[in-house]
Amino acid sequence: MSEVKKLKFFAGGKWHESKALKYMDIYNPSTGSVIARTPCCTEGEVKSAIKSAADAFPSWANTPAMKRVQVLYKFRELLDKHLDELTELVCRENGKVWEEAKGDVLKAKEATELACGIPSLLMGESLMNASSGFDTVLYKEPVGVFAGIAPFNFPAMIPMGWMMPLCIATGNTLVLKAASMTPMTAMRCAELLQESGLPDGVVNIVTCSRSEAELFLKHPDVKGVTFVGSTSIGMHIYATAAANGKRVQALCEAKNHALVLEDAPLERTARGIINAAFGCAGERCMALPVVVVQKSIADKLVELLVKFAGELKVGPAYDKASELGPVVTENHRQFVLSKIEKGIAEGAKLVLDGRSAIVKGFENGFYLKPTIFDQVTPEMTIGSEEIFGPVLCIKRVSDFEEGLQIMNNNKFANGSVIFTQSGYFSREFANRTHGGMVGINVGIPVPIGSFPFTGHKNSFFGDLHALGKDGIRFFTETKAVTSRWFDDADMKQQKVDTWDGTMVRSPAYPNIQLGDLTGS
């Protein structure tokens, strides 16, 4: 049996063998076998990556924006060229089925395309004669070194889409803590960035434990942290990094709900729910794990959901016929199973049991079939806590108002969805829901990358979201430059007032009456 590959960390444009005493196993979820081991980098190695980013920052920040994006144009081209290779890599380390994995890579490409527009998006604002003889220009400038702390569930889209492109396009440098369960896709993308001509030290990649990652929250050279993961860790990162003077965006857990009204087209609605609930094996913060349905149509909707979910083909991720792949690790499979057991114990009605899932030829894979609970009530944790697996809960309500109240009682607010043909209820829902991303007959209401990923409540901590104009503002700081050029009279001026001529509150035209200004 061949030796399992030991991965390295990437700093200063070079791959380094780690001196770590501990290496973490990376599994192929489809087979259950270990395919690589990644280092739990030492504190010194994490510091060396931060230093590489700090050393690279001055030169990269002074590189013209048009030249910076040439690297990203080339990177985009290489993402296309290596699309199948990267798709297979996501399948192998994460467990997404082929089309989901391809979408993971293509979303990274989408964010890269947004970043390629930075020469226009970074343009500031100006006002000539802001005060008499004074001109003001507002610039957007890079901030410095950012740390990106990525989760396991989207190995391409999050580190190489949400984090990297806007960060470096705006002139910053990045130290990425790749997810220890799924780091290989990001590492391969780092090689493609090198091939694209990215200068050494602009992007660096480590894998480490939470202990070493604390450095990112306190190190004086790190100016900001972008994080995707659990709410408990997100709150800690937000509090700690902010206390150390850093800007933070922390995208956290969710328990998205959909409200299904009795006028919704049931079959099309049910198919949309199946995709949203069980796509990516439920391992996404914009999954749809809860459906709130009017009692008058609940039986029929549940019948359709059970039927369609039961038809999904469970299989290995890289088999293009598979529709539902495995979850990421055996530990996570056991976590999801424990949540299903909790739902049974709480009294929810198990109408589709996905606990026993064995795929012929892949018996050691981390598989679960779709699970559906009906009659879930508000006090049941199965319907309020994030499970991150292929589990769907049904809550029954009498009407729109009851359904909206149940949804808004949720402590998370990433997304919320309504299925209806009513324009009135659609508008009411969009206006009154707490969800930050709202779908009207759209099961996964994630907007394209030119809009921000706008989670609310305990799903997000910070002020500026990922992507869109928020993302650009997060990775830049503004500088206002006011200038004045002296004429002969100015040079002879004997006294400079307190405001040095910038105060414009006094009447500009003292000899002109109000009527002269209004034309009356």
SS3 content of the chain, % helix, strand, coil (to 5): 40, 20, 40
Q: 306: Cβ–Cβ under 8 A, 6 or more apart, which residues?
A: 351, 352, 372
And the tokens for 197? Answer: 């001509």
Question: How far apart (Å, rounded) are the C-alpha atoms in residues 67 and 174?
Answer: 18
Strand duo 412-413 + 415-419: pairing: unpaired
Q: Which of 41, 208, 252, 285 is catalytic?
A: 285
Does residue 40 have an active-site annotation? Answer: no
Phi-psi region of 304 (alpha: psi -120 to 50; beta: other; left: phi over 0): alpha
Interatomic CA distance for residues 38 and 206, integer angstroms: 9
Residue with tokens 């504190």: 43
Q: Which DSSP letter does residue 236 get? A: H
Q: How many CB atoms lie within 10 A of CB 260?
A: 25
| H or E element, residue 36 | strand 33-39
What sections of 62-203 are H helices per DSSP?
A: 65-81, 83-94, 98-115, 118-121, 157, 164-169, 184-195
Burial status of residue 331 (CB atoms within 10 A of its CB: 0-12, 13-18, 19 or more) = exposed
Q: DSSP string covering 360-394, please?
A: TT-TTS-----EEEES--TT-GGGTS---SSEEEE
Q: How far apart are CA 458 and CA 436, in angstroms?
A: 11
Question: Is there a contact between 115 and 145 (Cβ–Cβ < 8 Å)?
Answer: no
Sign of CA dihedral 489, 491, 495, 497: positive
What whole-number distance in Å separates Cα of residue 330 and Cα of residue 206? Answer: 24
Provide the angle, in degrees to the nearest 10, between the axes of the packed helices 295-310 and 266-278.
Answer: 60
- Angle at CA of residue 42, ends 36 and 44, nearest 5°: 140
Dist. CA 158–CA 96, nearest whole Å: 15
Could you tell me if 242 and 74 are in contact, meaning their C-beta atoms sit under 8 angstroms apart? no
Which residues face 245 on adjacent strands? none
The torsion angles phi and psi of 513, rounded to 5 degrees, stand at -80, 160
Residues belonging to the active site: 285
